[in-house]
Amino acid sequence: MFPTSILQGTYNQSSGSGSSTDINSVPATLGHIAELNSKLYSPSADTNIYESTNSGTTWSNFTAVTTSLHNAHTYSIVTESNRLVFADNSLDIVTFDGVNNVSNINWINGNTLVYIRKLGSKYYVSENLSGGNATYYTTSSALNTGWTSVGTGTASKWIEEGNGAEIYDNGSKLVRSTDGFSTSTDIFGFANATNVQLLTDGSNNWVRFGGSNQFRISTDNGVNWTNKYMIESGGSYPNDIVREAADTGSSFYYNNKFYFLNSNTSNGYTPGKRFYSLPTSEFSSTYPEVTVEYDFNVSTNSELQGQGYTTIIPLYITRIGTKAYVSAFDNSLSGTVTPLLFIMDL
């Protein structure tokens, strides 16, 4: 758990791609961020949920929420017209209406849930591998009935849908279906990963990051996959290989680009703590080039210098509209932790 900061403030910088970036000191280390009724909400490291009414500039503890079940490590938040839905760290599905109503729905098997996602008309959840070891779905918006198991041994770390195909990732293989997992195909050859990123552009392009120096792409809607190495734009192989290794859910697709955070440590080729974009136009390249959208290293980003920052650690990234929100914190030499939120134009 991270301590909270005392002051909130906003500092305007330029990102690596030249677009505007606001740096906000926030009251607690935030998790993923969601929008509801023109306000922003985030579960946090201090177990509270925080609200912003000004697009993320300032945040306050949403005291109407009395439960302490919220967790900064919430990988996914389902945003609907009248509520937010997420899985907490106490075996529950949580719904929040943005006013004062929080509902905690006990999971049917009493096993820890990894995520909850809504794909089309179905809600998907997965138990962890050491729990019930299955992925489930329901079409009931009540979320307390109709759950159907995809099958024992189908626990997954993430699930995605695009162009008629649903694919889930269990950390070492992908499972692809075009009929709601009545039938499916196993796809092997993936690096075994704790934190996975499985993304699609909603058409035929898919990407799977898994924390190794190689990643895999598909250009035929997830049927066939090819290993690739990414390099920083203008660089060369192998001197400028980029490794993606952020927490699951810390990536997104927007406007013909896949955006992601890399590891917080160097892979021996390029620095860690950078925010990148991978254009789909690069998929055909032998070594796809990625652009540094923002560099969180104080020593190499002059715009972070002179602000009192020491070691900035980016944690989670969320896209809302045309902006990317990166939850982070700065760790000073004296051990003081300052929670931060970077807001970037895409």
pLDDT of 102: 77
pLDDT of 40: 96
Chain centroid offset of residue 322 CA? 16
pLDDT of 132: 75
Which DSSP letter does residue 44 get?
B
pLDDT of 335: 86
As a whole number of Å, the CA-based R_g of the chain is 20
CATH architecture observed for domain 34-292+316-330: 6 Propeller (2.120)
How many CB atoms lie under 10 A from the CB of residue 262? 25
Find residue 115's DSSP bridge partners: 126
pLDDT of 93: 87
pLDDT of 1: 32
- Average the pLDDT over each of 76-90, 113-127, 136-150 and give the range with the smallest value: 76-90
201-234 confidence digits (pLDDT tens)? 999 999 999 878 889 999 999 999 999 999 999 9
**pLDDT > 70? residue 39:** yes
CB 221 within 8 A of CB 162: yes
Question: Rounded to two decimals, what is the model's pTM?
Answer: 0.92
Could you report how far apart the first and last alpha carbons of the chain are, in Å? 30
Chain centroid offset of residue 234 CA? 27
The H or E element containing residue 281 is none
